[in-house]
Chain A
Amino acid sequence: MKRVLRRLAWAAFVIWATVSAAFLVNNALPSDPARMVAGQQAPPAAVAKIRKDLGLDRPLRVQYVLFLRRLVHLGPSSFAKNDPAHANCANVGPLHVDLGRSYQQRRPVVTILGERAPRTLLLALSAAIVQALIGVTAGIFAAVKKQKTGDRVAVGLSLLGVSAPTFLIGLLLQWLFAFKLRLFPIDGFGDTTAEHAASLVLPAVTLGIFGAAYYTRIVRDEMIGELSHDYVRTARAKGLGPVAVIVRHALRNALMPIVTIFGLEVGTLVGGAIITESVFRWPGIGSLSVDAMLDRDGPLIMGCVVVTSSVVVLSTLAVDLAYAVLDPRVRRT
């Protein structure tokens, strides 16, 4: 229990440190947010007023403290949408999260993130399924055919997959399946559920292929290790079919490290999502953060950093804790 609390505290610290570093970097950007909010044609007096309203005339330390205080604070459990004190808040009970307003979109950052996050989650989950399906199948295949042609082909393809940049795979799929064969939409999100589903296929496969390539090698190495154990020989000697031996015995034992790496690869998945979403103009957090950075939209950049770093840190934490639950040997240290 003490260990769990310590890990939680550490996770909170890492998120805080990341967000603070991002705040510093973000404020080093030579842009004038007040001018952006006011518009290019606004008179200097209006710009000055907005600068004062946004607190941009205060020293950086004060802005930082205000930012943190706003980020997570306590407030009423229910409040009117037009309540000026909580206009930019999202809340869980009395716990409020406020990331300010986007300079470009002129809406609360939490609202924008709330719209975008489920789409990225959908994309990431679909990609994870693609990744697991291809990776585990190809990995087992390569392990069974160890040192034969089938293994060489699978390993070679996986190395090719690891070497191809995500945007290259995306462009290739776009060209083949959307431009030439016209099977799927070339990009975007669509308006109906059916369109969403059709638009999801290519980005999900794109994002999944990189992981699948990486995964194939892990599964292969783990399975080769397991298949060389005595219990596999015993199972075979009992007269068990090859499928039962592989799936029920060897795969089961290889699963633990495979699942661990799955959890630790969430960071890579997030990075890949940024690129995939940009290629396919998928309106999730990834494309949002690129747009926010190119637009120098400070509050929106900070919002994206808070979300992505939290996801990465929390998934690492989840793997750590799951490991402790599953494997008693880890718990004691």
Chain B
Amino acid sequence: MRPAALIASARSMVGRLAQTAFGREAGGARLRASGSARAGLVLVGLLIAFAVLGPLVAPNDPYTSDFARGVTPEHLPVGPSRDFWLGTDRLFRDVFARLATGARISLVIGVGATAIATVVGSVVGVLAGWYEGRWVDTLLMRVVDVGLAFPFLLIVMALGAALERTTASTIFLTLGFTGWLGVARIVRSKTLQVRSLDYVLAARALGQSTPRVLLRHVLPNVSGPVVVIATILVAQMILAESVLSYLGAGIAPPAPTWGHMLFEGQDYLGAAPWITIAPGVAILLSVLGFNLLGEGLRDALDPRKT
């Protein structure tokens, strides 16, 4: 797909999400008017385009060391040039190709983990909120409390060790199944508000079953904040993935994760700063993009906040 088409489709998707959240055009208009939402959309669009097209147009393989062209006479990595757009790293591999493959990893893990976390968090939150004060609520919220006190780094490392080798799926499953705690809290409080509204009471008075009321009336009306959290959660997941791989607990090398690229580059900050700058800027802009988009969505959903 061409980048323009991709951006357009992403834009229409977000617009549609915003519309379902408000139920009318006004939200979409507010979203388009918001500067931070537009900036966020541009950054996220660029990230998607880079992840899709980058590996295709990269002139070199991300995993192969080039001892012929990628090395200076002093045996140092070469800087940005026509052969290597962003220079080579300490093993003389193409930084641009690695950055582009890393973008795919970051994006897939970020979105995948967020999807899991949002689904689990919404289900838990709606159930806890609906049955507030009963044992379901107590149990679920206690699990959340324990989860928030648990050092999640340990789970990831333990899982990685148990599976012999940490793969992309280990990371995104772990991040997904540890990231829902915050979502559950927010969805629960929103459900508490929605639960006692007239249309929910009416639906119950009409004799609709609980699952039907939850699915048809409660869930759609808590979806607004969920869209906002999910967008910001993608940013946090990308951040978390980079932290894990920076600390050496992420996807096993030679996979070009941005966090690990940064880790490898930091000893060469003086001699070859591009190894560190490239993934650093990439992480910063991606996280910033999703954060801006989330802010824009929140402002559009709740105009009083601005």
Chain A residues with CB under 8 Å of chain B are 10, 14-15, 17-18, 21-22, 25-26, 28-31, 159-160, 162-168, 171-172, 174-175, 179, 267, 274-275, 278, 289-290, 293-294, 296, 301, 304-305, 308-309, 312-313
Contacts and interface: CB of A to CB of B under 8 A. Distances in A.
A309 B243 contact: no
Interface string B128-159: 00000000000000100110111101110110
The A contact surface, by secondary structure, is helix
Given A159-B292, A179-B270, A290 B148 contact: no
Contacts, number: 106
B162 A293 contact: no
B280 interface: yes
A159 B239 contact: no
28 contacts: A14-B149, A21-B150, A22-B154, A26-B154, A28-B158, A28-B161, A28-B162, A29-B158, A30-B162, A159-B292, A160-B284, A160-B288, A162-B291, A163-B239, A163-B284, A164-B287, A165-B259, A165-B284, A171-B262, A171-B266, A171-B269, A171-B280, A175-B273, A179-B269, A275-B243, A275-B246, A312-B149, A313-B149
Given A21-B150, A275-B247, 8 more contacts: A25-B155, A163-B235, A163-B284, A163-B288, A165-B242, A167-B262, A175-B273, A294-B157
B153 A274 contact: yes
Top-6 shortest CB links A-B: A163-B288, A163-B287, A25-B158, A17-B146, A309-B149, A293-B157
A162 B236 CA distance: 10
Contacts of A171: 262, 266, 269, 276, 280
B77 to A, nearest CB: 17
A167 B248 contact: no
B283 interface: yes
Contact of B291 (A31, A163, A167, A290): A163
Contacts of A313: 149
Given A14-B145, A290-B247, A168 B283 contact: yes
Contact of A167 (B145, B153, B161, B243): B243
Interface string B31-73: 0000010000000000000000000000000000000000000
A278 B142 CA distance: 32
B249 interface: yes
B149 A18 contact: yes
A175 B243 CA distance: 19
A23 to B, nearest CB: 11
B149 A164 contact: no
A269 B247 CA distance: 17
B146 A14 contact: yes
Nearest to B276: A171
A15 to B, nearest CB: 7
Interface residues of B, number: 39
Contact of A31 (B142, B150, B161, B266): B161
Contacts of B149: 14-15, 18, 267, 309, 312-313
A25 B291 contact: no
A10 B151 CA distance: 19
A52 to B, nearest CB: 24
Nearest to A302: B154
A313 B148 CA distance: 9
B89 interface: no
Q: Which of B148, B151, B158, B248 has the most CB of A within 10 A?
A: B151
B280 A22 contact: no
Nearest to A275: B243
Contact of B161 (A10, A14, A29, A179): A29
Nearest to B263: A167
Contacts of B262: 167-168, 171
Contacts of B266: 171
B94 interface: no
B192 to A, nearest CB: 14
B163 to A, nearest CB: 10
Contacts of B273: 175
B284 A164 contact: yes
Nearest to A305: B151
A32 B95 CA distance: 38
A22 B243 contact: no
B222 to A, nearest CB: 22
Contacts of B270: 179
Given A278-B247, A312-B148, A305 B154 contact: yes
B269 A267 contact: no
A171 B19 CA distance: 42
Given A22-B150, A163-B235, A175-B269, A168 B284 contact: yes
A172 B235 CA distance: 21
A53 to B, nearest CB: 24
Contacts of A14: 142, 145-146, 149
B109 to A, nearest CB: 15
Contacts of B243: 165-167, 275
A267 B158 contact: no
A126 to B, nearest CB: 22
A292 to B, nearest CB: 10
Q: Which of B154, B243, B259 has the most CB of A within 10 A?
A: B154
Contact of A29 (B162, B239, B248): B162
Contacts of A164: 284, 287
B162 A18 contact: no
